[in-house]
C-alpha cells in the first residue's frame, strides 16, 4: 500500500501484513524487528503485496502535522493510562480512515493488548458479528468455544486435545462469531505459563511481556489448524481444579448466558465501552442499539447449543477421550 504523504519520510524498519480473524492489518514501524510481531502466529502472516484492510504505524518519533485523536482512548494514552490496569509512558494516537498511528516507546505493549481488540470490535460493529475472548477447537465439522477466567485451564484444554491431531486448533484467545454462529479464530501465539503444561507441548517458545509466561506458535505445536469458519456446536466453561478430577456438568441456558456475558463478551472483558461509544459518534442511543444487538447475538448463540462446565485433566487419556467424544457427538451426551 502506498504510504500516506504525511508518513512518507518515516524510515520503515518493520513492515508486515498479518491476519486477525476476518481482517488483514499492516504493521509498520521505525523499530527493526518490532517485538509486537511475536504475538502473531506464522499462520497469520500474509505474503508480500497483500493489500490490508487496516494499517497500524508504531513510531518511536513524532511525525509533524499528525493531529492527535480526541477520543477517550487517545486521551488515556496521552496520560500514560493504557488498558484496564496497565500504565506506561505517554503515547500519542492519531487515526484517519483505515490508518492508526501510535507514537511512543515500547509500543508492543499496546498492539496485542489493545489495538487488535479494538479492531475486532470496530469490524463487528460495522460488519456485524461478535468479538469474543475465547479459545476454540473443532472435532469434525463442529467447534467448541472454551471460556473461563484467567488460569482456569483454557490453554491446557486446547493443548491437550489438539496436540496429537485429535482435535483441530482454531484459536487460543480471540474469536469472531459470525451472524450465522460460525467460529473464526485469530491466529495468535499462545501465552502459556511455565510448568509441566508448557513442557508437554514440547516445542520452542519465546519470551512474553509477562515474565512468567512464554509464547508458543500453534504452527509448531499442533498438526491441524482451522483457518476457515467452523459451525458452533458447544460452549465449554473451563474450570480446572484437581489433576484427578473429571466432572462435566451441563449448564442451564440462563447460567450459560450469565457466564459467557461476563467472561467471553469482548466488550465487557476488555473494557471497550468507551471505544464503542466513540465508534458510535458519542451518541448513547446508538451505543445502546449496538450493545443490545451484540448481547442478543451472544444469547442466541449460547442458548442454541449445549454449554458445559468442564473439569478434566487432558493429560490423562480417559479424560481426553471423553471430551473428544462429547464434541464429536455434537455436544449432546
Residues 250-298 have pLDDT tens digits of 999 999 999 999 999 999 999 999 999 999 999 999 999 999 999 999 9
Confidence (pLDDT) at 84: 63
Contacts of 212 (CB under 8 A, 6+ apart): 193, 194
Contacts of 297 (CB under 8 A, 6+ apart): 129, 130, 177, 179
What counts of helices (H) and strands (E) characterise the chain? Answer: 11, 17
Checking if the pLDDT of 117 tops 80, the result is yes
The answer to whether the Cα torsion of 185, 238, 311, 199 is positive or negative is: positive
Confidence (pLDDT) at 194: 62
Average pLDDT over residues 314-319: 91
Q: Report d(CA 198, CA 288) in Å as an integer.
A: 42
Q: Provide the pLDDT confidence category of residue 1 given band limits of 50, 70 and 90.
A: very low
Checking if the pLDDT of 103 tops 80, the result is yes
Helices (H), the chain: 72-78, 108-110, 116-127, 154-162, 196-201, 218-221, 253-263, 266-269, 273-279, 284-303, 317-328
Confidence (pLDDT) at 85: 61
Q: For the segment 64-101, what is each residue's pLDDT rounded down to a tens digit?
A: 888 999 999 999 999 988 776 667 889 999 999 999 99
Question: Which cell goes with 290?
Answer: 449496538
Question: Which cell goes with 134?
Answer: 475465547
How many other C-beta atoms lie within 10 A of the C-beta of residue 245? 12
Checking if the pLDDT of 197 tops 60, the result is no
Q: Report d(CA 5, CA 78) in Å as an integer.
A: 24
Question: Which cell goes with 193?
Answer: 505459563
Q: Would you give the end-to-end CA distance of the chain in angstroms?
A: 51
Q: Report d(CA 241, CA 298) in Å as an integer.
A: 27
Q: Report d(CA 333, CA 316) in Å as an integer.
A: 20
The pLDDT mean for the chain works out to 89
Checking if the pLDDT of 184 tops 80, the result is yes
Amino acid at each position: 500500500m502506498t504510504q500516506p504523504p504525511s508518513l512518507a519520510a518515516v524510515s520503515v524498519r518493520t513492515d508486515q501484513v498479518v491476519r486477525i480473524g476476518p481482517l488483514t492489518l499492516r504493521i509498520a514501524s521505525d523499530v527493526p524487528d518490532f517485538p509486537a510481531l511475536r504475538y502473531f502466529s506464522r499462520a497469520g502472516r500474509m505474503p508480500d503485496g497483500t493489500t490490508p484492510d487496516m494499517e497500524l504505524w508504531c513510531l518511536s518519533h513524532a511525525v509533524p502535522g499528525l493531529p492527535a485523536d480526541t477520543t477517550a482512548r487517545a486521551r488515556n494514552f496521552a496520560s500514560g493510562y493504557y488498558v484496564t490496569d496497565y500504565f506506561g509512558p505517554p503515547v500519542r494516537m492519531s487515526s484517519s480512515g483505515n490508518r492508526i498511528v501510535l507514537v511512543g516507546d515500547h509500543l508492543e505493549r499496546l498492539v496485542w493488548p489493545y489495538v487488535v481488540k479494538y479492531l475486532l470490535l470496530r469490524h463487528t460493529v460495522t460488519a456485524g458479528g461478535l468479538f469474543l475472548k475465547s479459545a476454540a477447537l473443532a472435532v469434525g465439522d463442529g467447534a467448541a468455544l472454551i471460556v473461563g477466567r484467567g488460569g482456569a485451564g483454557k490453554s491446557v484444554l486446547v493443548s491437550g486435545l489438539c496436540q496429537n491431531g485429535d482435535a483441530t486448533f482454531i484459536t487460543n484467545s480471540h474469536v469472531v462469531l459470525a451472524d450465522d454462529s460460525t467460529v473464526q479464530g485469530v491466529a495468535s501465539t499462545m501465552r502459556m505459563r511455565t510448568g509441566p503444561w508448557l513442557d508437554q507441548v514440547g516445542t520452542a517458545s519465546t519470551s512474553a511481556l509477562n515474565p512468567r509466561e512464554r509464547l508458543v506458535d500453534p504452527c509448531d505445536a499442533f498438526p491441524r489448524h482451522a483457518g476457515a469458519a467452523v459451525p458452533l456446536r458447544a460452549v465449554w466453561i473451563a474450570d480446572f481444579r484437581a489433576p484427578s478430577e473429571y466432572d462435566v456438568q451441563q449448564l442451564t441456558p440462563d447460567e450459560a448466558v450469565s457466564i459467557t456475558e461476563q467472561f467471553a463478551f469482548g466488550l465487557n472483558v476488555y473494557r471497550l465501552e468507551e471505544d464503542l461509544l466513540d465508534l458510535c459518534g458519542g451518541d448513547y442511543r446508538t451505543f445502546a442499539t449496538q450493545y443490545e444487538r451484540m448481547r442478543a447475538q451472544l444469547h442466541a448463540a449460547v442458548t442454541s447449543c449445549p454449554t458445559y462446565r468442564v473439569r478434566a485433566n487432558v493429560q490423562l487419556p480417559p479424560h481426553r477421550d471423553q471430551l473428544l467424544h462429547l464434541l464429536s457427538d455434537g455436544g449432546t451426551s
